[in-house]
Amino acid sequence: MVGGPIEPRHIRAGLTGAALIGAVALTMAADVVASGLAGPAPDSRRASGFGPADLGRLRALTGLDGAAPATVRAALASAPLAWEPFYAAGAALLPRPEAAPLLQEAARRDPHAGGPHLALLGLAADRGGMTQVMVQLSALQRLDGVFGDGLAAKLGAHVARAADATQAAAALSGHPALVAPFLDGFARTQRPAALVLALVDALPAAALDDPRARASAVAEMVRIGAYARARALWLGGLRATARPQGPVYSPDFADLTAPPPFGWALQASDAGVAERDRARGLALTAYGRVAGPLVSQLVTAMPGRWRLQLVYAPQGGAAGVLRLRARCADDGAVLAERALDNGMAGPQRLDLPFVVPTGHCAAQTLEIAAQATDDARGQAVQVRQLRLSGPAPR
C-alpha cells in the first residue's frame, strides 16, 4: 500500500508546535487510529491511466522539479479523477509542509473522504496552526459527529492558560458546531475562575447561538460563582419578549422551555415527580420515600428582606411531605423553609419570609422539595404561582 494508512505520527505535534496543540495532539492519535475514518491508503496496483497532464498537476502542487519521487508516481497510478493518488502522495510527504496542497486536493476531490482531513489535522497540529486545526475538526465533525465532537472536547480539556483560551476562541469563530463540544470538554476539567472568564470573554457573540454551547458557558459561570454574569448570558438566549420583569422567571410556570438554572428545573426521581398540570401550573407528587427537590430555580436576589409567595391547591396525601425552601447557592445553607399543609380544599397561599445576608449568598435556589417520611406516605399538590418580592433584583 502506497503511503500507508494514517498513523499516530501523522497527527503528532513537533516541538515547535503551539503548546495547546502539542498537548492535545498525542491524545488525538489513538482516536484517529481507532476511528476508521482514515481508511486504507490507495494501492499502487490499482493501475491505469494517469496521464502527463495529471503528473504536471502533481508537480505544480508539490513544487517538485523533474521526475516525481517513486512513491508519488506509484500512488498516482490510479484513475485520473480519483482522490486517492493525491492522498497517498501527501501522506508520503508528511510532515513536510509540501504535503498540504496534495492533501487539500484529495479533500477537494472527495469531501467525504476522512483520510485527507485527518492528515491535514495532523499537519496543522505539527505546525501549531490552531485556525487550520479547527477547519479540519469541522470537516471531520461533518463526516462523523461523534468522532469530531470527541476531538473538539479533548482540545477544550487542554486549555490551561489565558493565551490558550484566546487562541482557541478566535479559531472557533466560523465553526459554531464545534463550540458546544469544545466547552463541554473544557468544563470537565473545572479550571480556575480567571481562565473560565478569559475563555467566555474571548468567544465571539455568535459562538453562543447554539443553546447547548450557551448552557455550558452558563453552567461554568455558575460553578465559579459568577452568578450575575451567568444570568446575563442566560438572558441573552431568550427572546426579548420572554425576558423576566422580576427576580423569578415565569412565576406562573407558563414557560417551562427556558433552560435551568435560571429557568424552572423539573425533576422526576425516587423523591417524586414535577410536571406540567393540564389545567395550569405544575402537578407535584412526593413519594415520601427519599428526600429531593422536585422543582427549583436559581435567582440573584440582592441582600435584604424578601418574601416567597406560593399559591397551591392540595390534591391529597399526607401534609408536610412537600416543603418550600430558599437556600444559598454557594454552600446550600437554608435561609428559610415551610411545609405545605393540606388544609382546606381549593387554592392556598403560603408566605415564606427570609433574609439574604450581606457578604455572601450572591445567588439563591428557590425550591419545592420532597421529604422522606417514616411511613413513606406521599403528598400531591397543584402549584399555580411562586413569586418573590422584596428589594429590587440585580
Sign of CA dihedral 255, 260, 263, 266: positive
Per the structure block, which three cell numbers stand in for 182? 469544545
- The confidence score (pLDDT) of residue 296 equals 98
Sign of CA dihedral 31, 34, 35, 37: positive
What's the whole-number mean pLDDT along residues 75-84? Answer: 64
Domain range annotation of the chain: 8-158, 265-389
What's the whole-number mean pLDDT along residues 328-347? Answer: 91
Strand partners, 307: 353, 389
Burial class (CB in 10 A: 0-12, 13-18, 19+), 75: buried
More confident residue, 67 or 226: 226
Q: Rounded mean pLDDT of the chain?
A: 82
Query: How is domain 265-389 classified at the architecture level of CATH?
Result: Sandwich (2.60)
- Chain segment 117-135, per-residue pLDDT in tens: 888 888 887 777 788 889 9
- Chain segment 167-217, per-residue pLDDT in tens: 999 999 889 999 999 999 999 999 999 999 999 999 988 889 999 999 999
Cα–Cα distance, 308 to 337 (Å, whole number): 10
Q: Per-residue confidence at 65, pLDDT binned at 50, 70, 90?
A: very low
- pTM score, two decimals? 0.78
What's the whole-number mean pLDDT along residues 114-118? Answer: 85
Lowest mean pLDDT among 41-55, 180-194, 212-226, 348-362: 41-55
What's the whole-number mean pLDDT along residues 34-47? Answer: 44
What's the whole-number mean pLDDT along residues 242-258? Answer: 89
More confident residue, 346 or 242: 346
